[in-house]
Each structure stands twice: as structure tokens, then as C-alpha cells.
Chain A
């Protein structure tokens, strides 16, 4: 298995600092969740790890080897799923996987077995002989995951692996990733924090090409154990909700508000004060609610707080 250490990685595109001295340590056998807002540098980092782009400076160590020395050797142990996997439209999934198997120098028999296995695993068995050109985005993503697993990689890089999948597919793939942690190190980037919260044991949050924090998921949740309030409003207040959201955001003890249907999720500085402020405001403006409860923070709250998406 492979641990990955990234030291002071820098990468410029024109005058954009895509990576600005990134440091990350991914332990062997862990499932590392790579988080950050759009343009933070996640894809750039994964592309550099996959050998598709070169960093301007900095170093990467796989295990104890510096990558500058190993080329094809390292690639033989790598699995990579890009953000938008692309295939030869004239091929069928079976042909593509077979081609990938040949690149990894699998013997004919072993290759066929592995291809069948992956088609099954990715739910593409029915479509195995169809042309990839007609595939939906979700099907492409499934095939992308299958090809990344062909060589039983010891390091798997997944750039938003579940972004195109339907809820059932997402669940399947996440379970698969969870199951892989015994075989290989996984680095996966995602915007869907609930997914990361579910499968990753370690989380790294980056913004503007720099690591903001990296920790075991549980430590992170404990460390930033700022509780949150969750309010379920009653139907009658529906028309008042947008205004109320604006007012809630201005309250001093509240750091962030997200709305989902009739539910308000408030990140707060302090439970007591915020509770009082919210109730007072509701009273003054005739907002009624069905439920107000104190909840544990989610990764989303921490993420929003750390990446400065909040006030």
C-alpha cells in the first residue's frame, strides 16, 4: 500500500496560483477526502499526482520514493478517475476495459476475468457491447471507475467520483470505495460533503491552493464542535422565509444559514445566545416554527467556516 506525501507543491497557470505551497500527508490505507470550493486546486493536485501535469516546484513522495525518479513504475500501481472521464466512442466498454488491461500487461485469461468482474461491479454488464458514444454521463462515470480499478491499484485517485450518479448509483459506488480501504489508499475529491463524511476517514480542506486543515474526520468534527441549530418552520410561514433568512444572517451569534425546504440550518457561535436571538426575532416578526433543535455540526458547517464562505 501507498502513502502519499505532498510537500510545498506550487503550480501557476498564467498569473493564477492554482497551487500555492500545498502540503498534504495521506496515510497508507486511508480514504482521504479532498475538499475545497470551486477552483481550490483539487483537480490540479490529482492531475499532478497522476503524472498528467507538472508542478512548478515542490515534491511528492509515494511511500518513501520521490516521484521524480519513478515513471511507469508508479503508474502501474495507480488508478485514476478524472473529473470528466472520456472514452473512445467507437469502442464498447468491454473493449475499452480490455484495452486498459492490456496496457497493464494482464494475461489474456486474467484480463477477461477482470473485465467481467468490473463490468458486473460497475453495473455495465447489460451495456457491455454497446458503443460508448451513446452512454449517459452516469454510465461514463461508472466505466471511469471500472477502468481505474483494472490493475488493483495501491493508490486510487478519484476526482468527484459520484457527481454524475443517481442516488442508488451513488450509494453503490460509495460502498465500493468504503470497501476498498482495506486494499488501497484512496484520495477522493468531492463537493458532496455528506458523501465524504460517510466514507472518508481523513479529510483535507484546501482553498486557493493551500491546505487549510487536515485531520482525521472525527477529530475535525470534535475540534470544530460548534453546535448548530436546526429549525423547522411551519407551512404558514413560507412566504416569510426569504426575509427571515436575511434577518437571521445578520444576527450576531449566527455565522451561517442554509435553507432546505422548510428547514433552516444555522451555524452558530454560541447555542444559548443564538437561541435567544432567533426566538426573539421570530416573535417580533410573527414567524412560527414546529421544531427547534440543537444538532451536532456537520462537515458542511466546518467546511463553510474554514473556507470563508461565511461572514
Chain B
């Protein structure tokens, strides 16, 4: 299968160019340190000049703080890395002419594109899984037990959130001529969705709901509205399909 061939090449490329390692190290480090940072917040405050005054006002950190810290860090840096890793995936291959070499051979353009998406997805899945295990261990050590099933769901939702931005950036990388325009558009989309999400009642329909749902789950509240999940899956499918439809007709 040509998809497998392309996928193996892409995943090898991510390991050789150290993208894989960087994603792993960054996310695992944040996974490990997030519970630690939550635990240490009051102590850190005492070290800041004038911070002593606030110590009494800061409540004793809880497991929820550790989880919130983890979500915030992994999402922030996961999405950032996803944008940077994806922005040049098509533009650079078109610009340099490497795509023309491969796509004049019996390699379907759809496989070429899908291999890019799935290999990046795998990188982030592996990185988040290991970060999740590390964070679980440290949280357990510092704060106590968490519901494992909820923890797995939370990490699944984080991965899905990152995949949304990989798919969007892949689309932009197909549509534009340079990787900088692609990442610019991706940041624009991130901000735009952020603004949309701040409209009262509307955020639940957007990918950001993945994150709020994840927090709800961990704090033990039931989640009833999963619209954001379906919208996220929809964005991924639509982005990749559009990228494919455009890429199929593009001159290389």
C-alpha cells in the first residue's frame, strides 16, 4: 500500500529531523512538572519579594489545580509545536520540488497528504500518552489518586484538540505558498475561534469545548453536551478533504 510507504517515510522523517524527540521531551517535561508546579505555587509565592502577604490568601493546592495546570501546559505547547511542525509540510515540498519527484510516480496525492497528517498525529499521540503517564504518576505522588478512565478520556480529548490544529494547518500549508503564511493563518484561526468561543453559550460548539469538558470530567461533573467533539471531528475531516481536493488539482 502506498499510504503505508508514505507514512513510514514521514514518520522516519520526523524522527530524523528530531521533531519527534522535541515533541516528546517538551510535552513529557510539562506533564511531569505540571503537578509539581501546582503543588509548589504557595512556596513559590513566598520566594517572590512581597509575595508573603498573599500566602494566606492562596488556598492549599488541590488535585484540580494540578489537572488544570497540566491541561493548560500540554494544550499550549502541544498546539504550538503542532503548528510549527505542520506549517511547512506541503509548502516546502512543493517549493523545493521534492513533491514533484514523488508525485510523478504512482503515489496518489491523497496518500501523500494523509501520510503527513497521520504521522504527525502519531507523534503527538505518543508524546501525550507518555506525558499523561508521567503526569499521572507525579500527581498521584503529590496529591493522590485520580480516576484513570477520566484521565484517559482527558488525554484523548487533548490529542483530538491538537489534531484539529494539525488538520487546519495542513490545509493552510496546501493552500498557501509559504509556511509563514500558513502558520499565520493558523494563529488567526486559533484567535478567531477563541473570540467565537467567548460569545455566551456558543463555546460549547467549538473545539475549545473539548478542553472545558475534559476539566469537568476530571472534577467529577457529568458532561452532557458533546457538540464540540463532533464539530472537532468535522473540522478535521473537512480540512483534510478540502486539502486533498485542492492538492489533487495543484501544479507541482
- Give the chain A neighbours of B108 by CB distance below 8 A: 72
Of A1-9, A96-104, A193-201, A246-254, the one contacting chain B is A96-104
Q: A52-B251, A52-B252 are known contacts. Are A103 and B17 too (CB-CB below 8 A)?
A: no
- Give the chain A neighbours of B252 by CB distance below 8 A: 52-53
Of B98-106, B173-181, B196-204, the one contacting chain A is B98-106
| A90 contacts B16, C-beta separation under 8 Å | yes
In Å, the complex CA distance between A78 and B106 comes to: 9
Q: What 1/0 flags go to B1-42 for Cβ under 8 Å of A?
A: 010010001000100110000000000000000000000000
Tell me the smallest distance from the CB of A160 to a CB of chain B, in Å.
Answer: 14
| A103 contacts B5, C-beta separation under 8 Å | yes
- Give the chain A neighbours of B102 by CB distance below 8 A: 100, 103
| B96 contacts A80, C-beta separation under 8 Å | no
Q: A85-B101, A99-B5 are known contacts. Are A90 and B106 too (CB-CB below 8 A)?
A: no
| A100 contacts B105, C-beta separation under 8 Å | yes
Is the CB of A75 closer than 8 A to any CB of chain B?
yes
Is the CB of B144 closer than 8 A to any CB of chain A?
no
| B101 contacts A86, C-beta separation under 8 Å | yes
In Å, the complex CA distance between A76 and B106 comes to: 6
| A90 contacts B105, C-beta separation under 8 Å | no
Residues from 79 to 118 in A contacting B, C-beta threshold 8 Å: 80, 82, 84-88, 90, 99-100, 102-105
A54, A72, A147, A151: the one within 8 Å of B251 (CB): A54
Q: Interface size on A (CB < 8 Å)? A: 27
Is the CB of B223 closer than 8 A to any CB of chain A?
no
- Give the chain B neighbours of A50 by CB distance below 8 A: 100, 104
Is the CB of A63 closer than 8 A to any CB of chain B?
no
Residues from 46 to 64 in A contacting B, C-beta threshold 8 Å: 47, 50-54
Is the CB of B97 closer than 8 A to any CB of chain A?
yes
- Give the chain A neighbours of B5 by CB distance below 8 A: 99, 102-103
| A53 contacts B251, C-beta separation under 8 Å | yes
In Å, the complex CA distance between A59 and B96 comes to: 29
In Å, the complex CA distance between A103 and B146 comes to: 47
Tell me the smallest distance from the CB of A296 to a CB of chain B, in Å.
Answer: 39
| B98 contacts A87, C-beta separation under 8 Å | yes
- Give the chain A neighbours of B106 by CB distance below 8 A: 72, 75-76, 103-105
Is the CB of B107 closer than 8 A to any CB of chain A?
yes
In Å, the complex CA distance between A47 and B104 comes to: 9
Interface residues of B (CB under 8 A from A): 2, 5, 9, 13, 16-17, 96-98, 100-108, 249, 251-252
Give the 9 A-B CB pairs with smallest separation, nearest first: A86-B97, A50-B104, A72-B106, A53-B251, A90-B16, A102-B5, A80-B104, A75-B106, A52-B252
Please name 12 pairs of A and B residues whose Cβ atoms are closer than 8 Å in the assembled complex, sorted by A: A47-B100, A50-B104, A51-B104, A52-B100, A52-B104, A78-B105, A86-B98, A86-B101, A87-B101, A88-B98, A103-B2, A103-B107
Beyond known contacts A103-B102, A103-B105: 12 more, CB 8 A cutoff? A51-B103, A52-B252, A72-B108, A78-B104, A78-B105, A85-B101, A86-B98, A86-B100, A87-B98, A99-B9, A103-B106, A144-B101
